[in-house]
Amino acid sequence: MPGVPRSRGCKSCLKQKKKCDQAKPACSRCARLGVPCVGSGEQKYVFKPVSFTKPFKTSFSKPRKSETSSQVSIVHKPQNPLTLLQAKLVAALEITDLRYGINCYGDFLEHIPRRLGHSHVLDVSVDLMMSLLPCHYEYETPSKVLAKFGSGLKILMEPHNQKGAQLSLEGVAAFHIMTICQSWLRQAGDDLKSHGQILVRFMDTATEKGWSGTFELKLLETSLVALFFDALVDPRIDLEQHASRLSLQSRKNEYDGSEDPQALCSQVQRLLRIPRFMHEPLCYMEEIKIAYQELQDDHARILHHLESVRIQKSSSEDLHCRQKLIHKVQVTQAIILTTALALNSILRAAYPDDSVLLLEASTLANKLITVVNAVSQYRPLGASFVPPCMIAAWATMSSLEAQRNEIRVLLTEYQHDYARVQWMDLAVLLEVLHGTLLGRISGSHDRDKVEKSENDRDLEILKLLVFKPD
């Protein structure tokens, strides 16, 4: 193109866009102007071939050191309501502090995250639990949480109210979770009146289908613990037929490996007979004597087992498992001591001249108070089993004024953990009901009768509050 300098011209001519004759040692223009002639005759621009495919290299590059600073983090991770709910539940289960962890309500909870998204009723119950957990011991509950509780109950009870409906594992797990939430709220409506009967149906289904998986057995164990307290007020529930199922769970429980399975199975069978003794004590007085002595022997074995666990050397990884085992043994201690006190009161009513029984009652009460003081460090959630045991003990030892006063003080301290529950009111109610039972034994009929209709609600609340960790 005319007027366009060649790429081989000198820099002075290219800059001025003049034609360069490329003469040596200097072009005619540079010689005429007397300026240095640089780059004359040299190729300034080269068009090189470009390939858009990387050549294949046979040699392997050396591994480079990880550069964390050059990694780009994802600002927004994909999520939906289900993944958020799973994350909340996993975070709650990962809390190893027994004061605030929900693991104390049953080992079956560890298997719930992987089952979310497969059962609507389970998703609803877990969502309610996560919403209620931050405010379960406050005086007031947000209206949104109460509305969520009401709708959750309707969803939960809809399949259970249908005749012949099959009970799924997820449905029973949701039922337990909803019961925990109900105890936090101190709600005792008509929706869960058939609490025990639903769990009995689940036990029958488990026996029929022969469930033996880890989740099934842990759910079964939790159901039997809940059924034990239901059976204390509902004579229609027969616990002893399900004892073999719990013995299977005891043999497979990873935390009870250091305890004799046969002894543990015997302890379970003895506890499962207690509701029958409480309903008809006059028919089983000799068996009550034997069971009372066996419970004291069981407590001695548990103390020995607890001491052996405490002196064991454990790594940092096993420390939480050992702490969890100690906590479960303390729960068992409290239940056995409370049950022994109840049987002791029955025997004292039948044999009022036996001074040894009164001395043993004082000893059992002092042991229970020792356990209560030992587990107070786990308040509020880790010690949630303590108040129901204390009110039951308080109601059965009217002759032990010193211990009753001490328990009353302890209940006042625990009152701060559950603002909605008046523990002493429940203790007085239970004392009246227990007094009616003792009156039947001693032949005294001059006690004030309590109409069932007036106490149904308080009994339902009491059953819900003793939904204890296994």
The label of the residue with tokens 């506890």 reads: 271
- What local confidence, expressed as pLDDT, does residue 334 receive? 93
Give the tens place of pLDDT for each residue, 364-387.
999 999 999 999 999 888 888 899
Give the tens place of pLDDT for each residue, 185-235.
866 544 555 667 778 888 777 777 777 788 888 888 888 888 887 887 778
Q: Taking Cα atoms as reference points, which of 182, 91, 80 lies closest to residue 128?
A: 182
- What local confidence, expressed as pLDDT, does residue 109 receive? 93
Give the tens place of pLDDT for each residue, 179-195.
888 888 866 544 555 66
- What local confidence, expressed as pLDDT, does residue 425 receive? 87
Pick the most confident of 11-25, 51-65, 456-470. 11-25
Phi-psi region of 192 (alpha: psi -120 to 50; beta: other; left: phi over 0): alpha
Q: Does domain 1-41 have CATH number 3.40.50.300?
A: no
Are residues 338 and 392 in contact, defined by beta-carbon separation less than 8 angstroms? yes
CB-neighbour burial class of residue 330 (10 A; exposed 0-12, middle 13-18, buried 19+) = buried
- Say yes or no to pLDDT of 427 above 50: yes
- What local confidence, expressed as pLDDT, does residue 41 receive? 79
Give the tens place of pLDDT for each residue, 121-131.
999 999 999 99
Q: Where does the pLDDT of residue 316 fall: very low under 50, low under 70, confident under 90, or very high at 90 and above?
A: low
- Residues 54-72 as b/e (b if ≥16 CB within 10 A, e otherwise) read eeeeeeeeeeeeeeeeeee
**What stretches of 161-238 show up as alpha helix (H) in DSSP?**
169-185, 195-209, 214-231
- Say yes or no to pLDDT of 254 above 50: no
- What local confidence, expressed as pLDDT, does residue 256 receive? 46
Q: Taking Cα atoms as reference points, which of 376, 385, 355, 354 lies closest to residue 467?
A: 385
Q: Where does the pLDDT of residue 333 fall: very low under 50, low under 70, confident under 90, or very high at 90 and above?
A: very high
d(CA 252, CA 377): 29
Residue 408: CB partners within 8 Å, gap ≥ 6?
A: 394, 424
- Say yes or no to pLDDT of 436 above 80: yes
pTM: 0.72
Are residues 20 and 9 in contact, defined by beta-carbon separation less than 8 angstroms? yes
Top pLDDT among 458 and 166 is at 166
- Residue 113 is classified by DSSP as G
Rg (CA), the chain: 38
Angle, to 10 degrees, between the axis of helix 143-160 and the axis of helix 120-132? 150
- How large a percentage of the chain has pLDDT more than 90? 24
Q: Where does the pLDDT of residue 116 fall: very low under 50, low under 70, confident under 90, or very high at 90 and above?
A: very high
- CA 372-376-377 angle, 5° bins: 145
d(CA 428, CA 71): 65
Are residues 242 and 207 in contact, defined by beta-carbon separation less than 8 angstroms? yes
d(CA 398, CA 401): 7
Strand, coil or helix: 160: helix
